[in-house]
């Protein structure tokens, strides 16, 4: 599949793009090949390493960056395309370094540095004048929540006499200070995911961001929070056991509430953004449990959501480019009028509702099993988390399939080869990894 993308991109894109596309594709393949089951870690350079947690996310970052660059070359982006593509490459470099570093201070620096390219993308290529407000909310929510994390990491590295993840020493006793330290770690990453209540910056950023920015934001930037939880939550597990029930309740109740809000949205991008809050509830919930099964389920959920959400935002942008509206009341009857679009749209929504044969089904089944083993009392909330994505996904499908009540003269352009390749490139890995998911296991 990667060879096909490289060959087709060399035909579709300008002359200076085949080399870049091939390098990104080869880097993705190499990142995947470095990951295998029961791998303790591969040291690639002093302070950088690849293991079974970081390698899938590095591969996802490179792969989605390539697809977002292809998506950015559209009719709606008419100014400074090269500058936006450079920012996407800068964002990819910061994300790869963040996922690959073994130094907690470099991790924090890259964790925050990834916000700068996304901020510039929203400000420079946002669709509406509210993009300044969206950028401010993005910075305020994420930076303010992560400042206590910086202090905690500095104290932690000083006490451990090392700044490497593998050398961090868990707090020796449970005290108010150690609980506050663990809470600062959790809150910083839960805001980045985000969970309900801390999610208010997410719909704003998605609505104002261009298609490439939305794809990167949903597919990769939200995974920084899940990655941080996977790395640091085992070290602070014994000091956080007293508030694990609170965090789990926050995850599940917030996810159900966000699912209910999704069913009342009229803007397609806002609906897809809120659906990310529902899926990220599984990520935070399984990170709290901290078992091998929950960690593997966590990785499955992050990878499947990254590919699925990126595809949904890309297809929502295709509708926006053709009718200049993201309202479900205006999109009625759009997809059946374009050849092949209805099947692609339905396929993406099936992946979003965790229907077979997509990886998201295995991911959420594993997450539900691990959470039920933790406590049977949460089964009603898990039923809501599994039912609501199907409800609002079918709501999006039926709203876009029914014909408009008023006749509208749409000058519809059929899907181009580039657009079809992009959608298929998102969906094909989800099906392939369902058949052979072992390369991603954290066991």
Per-residue pLDDT of the chain (443 residues; tens, 9 = 90+): 444 444 444 444 444 444 455 455 555 545 554 444 444 454 445 567 777 788 889 889 988 998 888 888 765 555 677 888 889 989 998 998 999 888 888 899 998 899 899 989 988 887 777 788 888 888 888 888 888 888 888 888 887 787 788 777 776 666 666 777 778 888 888 888 888 888 888 888 888 888 888 999 999 988 999 999 888 887 777 767 777 888 899 999 999 999 999 988 888 889 999 999 999 999 999 988 888 888 888 889 999 999 999 999 999 888 888 777 788 877 776 766 666 678 888 899 999 998 888 989 989 998 999 999 988 888 999 999 999 999 999 988 888 776 654 545 556 777 788 888 889 999 998 888 887 766 555 44
410 phi-psi bin (left φ>0, alpha ψ -120 to 50, beta other): beta
Parallel/antiparallel/unpaired status of strands 42-45 and 48-50:
antiparallel
CA distance 260 to 190: 20
- Record the tokens describing residue 227, joined without a space: 């990655």
Whole-model pTM: value is 0.88
The domain limits of the chain are 1-6+49-166+173-440
CA distance 216 to 437: 23
- Record the tokens describing residue 226, joined without a space: 């899940």
The residue with tokens 């400074």 is: 80
């Amino acid at each position: 599949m990667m060879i096909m993308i490289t060959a087709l991109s060399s035909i579709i894109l300008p002359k200076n793009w085949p080399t870049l596309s091939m390098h990104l594709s080869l880097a993705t393949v190499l990142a995947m090949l470095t990951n295998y089951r029961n791998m303790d870690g591969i040291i690639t350079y002093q302070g950088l390493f690849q293991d079974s947690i970081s390698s899938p996310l590095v591969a996802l970052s490179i792969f989605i960056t390539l697809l977002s660059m292809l998506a950015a070359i559209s009719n709606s982006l008419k100014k400074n395309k090269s500058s936006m593509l450079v920012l996407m490459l800068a964002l990819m470099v910061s994300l790869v370094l963040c996922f690959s570093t073994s130094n907690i201070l470099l991790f924090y620096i890259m964790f925050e540095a990834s916000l700068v390219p996304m901020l510039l993308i929203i400000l420079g290529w946002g669709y509406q004048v509210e993009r300044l407000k969206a950028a401010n909310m993005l910075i305020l929510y994420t930076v303010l929540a992560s400042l206590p994390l910086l202090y905690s990491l500095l104290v932690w590295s000083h006490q451990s006499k090392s700044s490497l993840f593998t050398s961090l020493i868990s707090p020796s006793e449970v005290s108010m200070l150690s609980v506050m330290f663990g809470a600062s770690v959790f809150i910083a990453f839960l805001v980045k995911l985000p969970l309900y209540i801390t999610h208010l910056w997410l719909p704003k950023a998605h609505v104002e961001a261009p298609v490439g920015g939305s794809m990167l934001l949903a597919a990769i930037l939200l995974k920084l929070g899940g990655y941080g939880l996977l790395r640091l939550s085992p070290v602070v597990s014994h000091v956080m056991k007293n508030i694990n029930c609170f965090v789990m309740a926050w995850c599940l109740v917030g996810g159900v509430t966000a699912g209910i809000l999704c069913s009342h949205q009229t803007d397609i991008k806002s609906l897809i953004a809120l659906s990310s809050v529902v899926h990220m509830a599984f990520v935070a919930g399984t990170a709290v449990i901290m078992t091998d099964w929950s960690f593997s389920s966590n990785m499955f959920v992050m990878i499947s959501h990254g590919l699925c959400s990126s595809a949904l935002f890309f297809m929502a942008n295709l509708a926006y480019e053709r009718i200049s509206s993201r309202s479900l009341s205006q999109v009625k009857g759009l997809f059946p009028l374009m050849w092949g679009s209805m099947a692609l749209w339905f396929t993406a929504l099936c992946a979003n509702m965790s229907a077979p044969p997509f990886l998201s089904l295995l991911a959420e089944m594993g997450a539900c099993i691990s959470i039920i083993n933790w406590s049977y009392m949460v089964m009603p909330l898990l039923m809501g988390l599994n039912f609501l994505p199907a409800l609002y996904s079918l709501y999006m499908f039926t709203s876009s399939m029914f014909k408009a009540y008023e006749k509208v003269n749409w000058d519809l352009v059929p899907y181009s080869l580039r657009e079809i390749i992009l959608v298929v490139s998102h969906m094909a890995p989800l099906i392939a990894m369902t058949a052979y998911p072992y390369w991603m296991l954290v066991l």
